[in-house]
């Protein structure tokens, strides 16, 4: 029987950063993943992820996460008068002293003529916004973890886990591995691992599309910022400009935030949904100043894991606080940018059972009544 100080299950964005943080602290830690990350089977792939400091979902998300591998392009968020996205960013900026600029649609299109929006739209520009490279970030975190002594078992699904007065354990490949604490950060596989305990999670299949920019420099970095436009009751549309070193697929990356149907990691279709591609492409082209719609270069699926209130689920498992079983899930398509600081919080929880970081509003305890 093998015993560690901590086991981290799931080595995507959150798990890899937790593994690296624990290893840097000198903890004897084991990371386990059912695949060999970085991979394209979960939520942390596609070449880029949007980052921003002023956060419209909830002002308490706005903290310095120390993102690595980031590219500042500027960020535009906006929509019709009264839209929640720009209003939320302004509220977050006020509460945390962040510098953003409010502008109407007319000023937006004057400054960024690659967009086409109504003149009375309410928008916000954040200069430090941009994107991070997800696969490279995960690879860098795992390399850092290995340099600091972390052990890893890849292509190894766990079969069971549990906790008792002595700590926690997992079973994989017919072997029981024990630890003083446990981190569960397995993305869309968390519903099966939690078995309805701690939170009700809903994985969804989302579609990412790359558009042919036809060599138009307006749609490339550094000319085009990252953008997201609120569409009211419809899923927001977002875009990331083409950039040097993008790799394949290459083009302007666009998508609809939270448009996908329910799915499981095992049942997700590898063939993309043509109707979903058409919805994303149409919504993006509506906001681009083009004579003819940009055409699709490629399309891929990824997974969101939605919590009931779309906020993260981060904290000690309500049934196993003494064994320091920390869970991180439900990142609902807006979590990657926080991976470094979430890694710190998970390391704190696993080693001390608490953290000074302000994660109370994300506690699994908010679902204790069976939400």
Mean pLDDT estimate for the chain: 90
- The domain at 62-129+202-306 falls in which architecture? 2-Layer Sandwich (3.30)
pLDDT at 269 over 80: no
Predicted confidence at residue 332, as pLDDT, reads: 75
CATH homologous superfamily of 2-44+134-196+309-367 = FAD/NAD(P)-binding domain (3.50.50.60)
For residue range 187-197, what is the model confidence (pLDDT) as tens digits? 999 999 998 78
What string of H, E and C letters represents the secondary structure of the chain? CEEEEEEEECCCHHHHHHHHHHHHCCCCEEEECCCCCCCCCCCCCCCCEEECCCCCCCHHHCCCCCCCCEEECCEEEEECCCCHHHHHHHHHHHHHCCCCEEEEHHHHHHHCCCECCCCCCEEEEECCCEEECHHHHHHHHHHHHHHCCCEEECCCCCCEEEEECCEEEEEECCEEEEEEEEEECCHHHHHHHHCCCCCCCEEEEEEEEEECCCCCHHHECCCCCEEEEEECCEEEEEEECECCCCCCCCCEEEEECCCCCECCCCCCCCCCCHHHHHHHHHHHHHCECCCCCCCEEEEEEEEEEECCCCCCEEEECCCCCCCCEEEEECCCCCCHHHHHHHHHHHHHHHHHCCCCCCCHHHCHHHHCCCC
For residue range 53-100, what is the model confidence (pLDDT) as tens digits? 543 344 443 343 343 467 889 999 999 999 999 999 999 999 989 899
Q: Domain residues of the chain, as ranges? A: 2-44+134-196+309-367, 62-129+202-306
Averaged pLDDT, 124-136? 90
pLDDT at 230 over 70: yes
Averaged pLDDT, 294-307? 94
For residue range 200-219, what is the model confidence (pLDDT) as tens digits? 899 999 999 999 999 999 99
């Amino acid at each position: 029987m093998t015993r560690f100080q901590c086991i981290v299950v799931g080595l995507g964005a959150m798990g890899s950063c937790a593994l690296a943080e624990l290893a840097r602290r000198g903890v004897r830690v084991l990371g386990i993943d059912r695949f060999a990350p970085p991979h394209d089977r979960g939520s942390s792939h596609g070449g880029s992820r949007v980052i921003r400091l002023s956060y419209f979902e909830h002002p308490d998300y706005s903290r310095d996460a120390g993102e690595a591998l980031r590219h500042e392009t500027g960020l535009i968020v906006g929509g019709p008068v009264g839209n929640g996205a720009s209003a939320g960013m302004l509220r977050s900026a006020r509460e945390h002293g962040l510098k953003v600029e409010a502008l109407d649609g007319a000023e937006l299109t004057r400054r960024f003529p690659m967009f086409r929006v109504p003149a009375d739209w309410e928008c916000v520009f954040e200069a430090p916004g941009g994107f991070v490279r997800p696969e490279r970030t995960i690879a860098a975190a795992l390399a850092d973890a290995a340099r600091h002594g972390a052990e890893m078992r890849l292509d190894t699904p766990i079969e069971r886990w549990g906790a008792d007065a002595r700590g926690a354990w997992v079973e994989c490949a017919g072997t029981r591995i024990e630890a003083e604490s446990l981190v569960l950060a397995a993305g869309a596989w968390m519903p099966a691992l939690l078995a309805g305990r701690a939170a009700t999670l809903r994985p969804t299949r989302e579609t990412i599309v790359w558009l042919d920019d036809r060599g138009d420099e307006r749609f490339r970095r550094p000319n085009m910022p990252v953008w997201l436009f609120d569409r009211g009751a419809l899923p927001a549309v977002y875009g990331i400009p083409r950039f040097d070193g993008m790799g394949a697929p290459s083009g302007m990356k666009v998508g609809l935030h939270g448009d996908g149907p329910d799915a499981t990691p095992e049942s997700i279709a590898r063939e993309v949904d043509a109707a979903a591609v058409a919805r994303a492409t149409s919504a993006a082209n509506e906001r681009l100043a083009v004579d003819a719609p940009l055409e699709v270069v490629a399309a891929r699926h990824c997974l969101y894991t939605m919590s009931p209130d779309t906020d993260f689920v981060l904290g000690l498992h309500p049934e196993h606080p003494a064994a320091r079983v920390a869970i991180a899930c439900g990142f609902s398509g807006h979590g990657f940018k926080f991976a470094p600081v979430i890694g710190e919080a998970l390391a704190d929880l696993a080693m001390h059972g608490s953290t000074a970081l302000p994660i109370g509003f994300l506690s699994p305890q908010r679902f204790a009544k069976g939400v």
